[in-house]
Chains A and B, each alone.
Chain A
């Protein structure tokens, strides 16, 4: 029995920067996080832009953001939540369904 197809993209995740953030975090082992600098390198976003998109994802419950200090330097890290992983996997399934349906029609 196959799962029901998903009929709409996840609009929180589908935005390009947020898609990259979620992809990067989902690629890590479950207990691992990425720091702000590495997320910036992966997304190519500016500090302010990246911060805003992380907040959007945090408000949706898809990522958890931690702020601490390494020595005297502040550090921001993000980790994907269980519901974030599930939402991301559903979104990827939706994207694959679009390609599969067109290639099989």
Chain B
């Protein structure tokens, strides 16, 4: 059997499409626990913030520590077993977390004191931008989740400004958690 140029080109296109879809599905399945984890934490903080707005900062500190520890556990559990040692995977995650925290702190330092709503909106917009950017490389579901989070952030700030922190936490958290479940079912 000999193939024509057209048949070879068509086969290579099929290969590219199947590989892209496979990578996206694999990535979704690996990302799902992280979205469910952080979404649940956001919802919990939102509910507690609605009950006790003065303690929002403490709630986020505890939630971030829990999320950080759980992410390290997931990363060490799910790392590629042959190619990546546990410590390297952990260092990479810590590095990414430091970059994000550093960027967040730098923005706050440059733009001056921020209200709770502005701080919450900035965090949500960062997460939204990260997901939309990832989605352009990995898969459309990230883009959808990022876009919804972006829209909900603006709804929180402009439609319910008095409850924006709690609203963005709960609605954004639900978006992340349900998005994670959506990815797991992909």
Contact = CB atoms under 8 A, between A and B. Distances in A.
Contacts of B23: 27-28
A39 B92 CA distance: 31
A29 B21 CA distance: 14
Contacts, number: 80
Chain B: interface size category? 20 to 34
Contacts of A19: 11, 14-15, 18
A26 B11 CA distance: 15
A25 B14 contact: no
B82 interface: yes
A95 interface: yes
Nearest to A30: B82
Contacts of A34: 22, 25-26
Contact of A27 (B4, B11, B19, B80): B19
Nearest to B5: A102
A104 to B, nearest CB: 12
B105 interface: no
Nearest to A99: B8
A57 B59 CA distance: 53
Interface stretch (A6-14, A46-54, A58-66, A68-76): A6-14
30 contacts: A8-B1, A9-B2, A9-B3, A14-B1, A16-B14, A19-B11, A19-B14, A20-B14, A20-B18, A23-B14, A23-B15, A23-B16, A24-B22, A27-B18, A27-B19, A28-B26, A29-B82, A31-B80, A31-B81, A32-B26, A34-B22, A38-B186, A41-B186, A42-B21, A42-B25, A43-B18, A96-B12, A98-B4, A98-B5, A102-B5
Interface of B: 1-5, 8-9, 11-12, 14-16, 18-23, 25-26, 80-83, 186
Given A31-B80, A31-B81, A34-B26, 15 more contacts: A23-B16, A23-B22, A27-B18, A27-B20, A27-B23, A28-B23, A38-B186, A41-B21, A41-B186, A42-B21, A42-B22, A98-B3, A98-B4, A99-B8, A102-B5
6 pairs of A and B residues whose beta carbons are closest in the complex: A24-B22, A23-B18, A27-B19, A98-B8, A20-B18, A27-B22
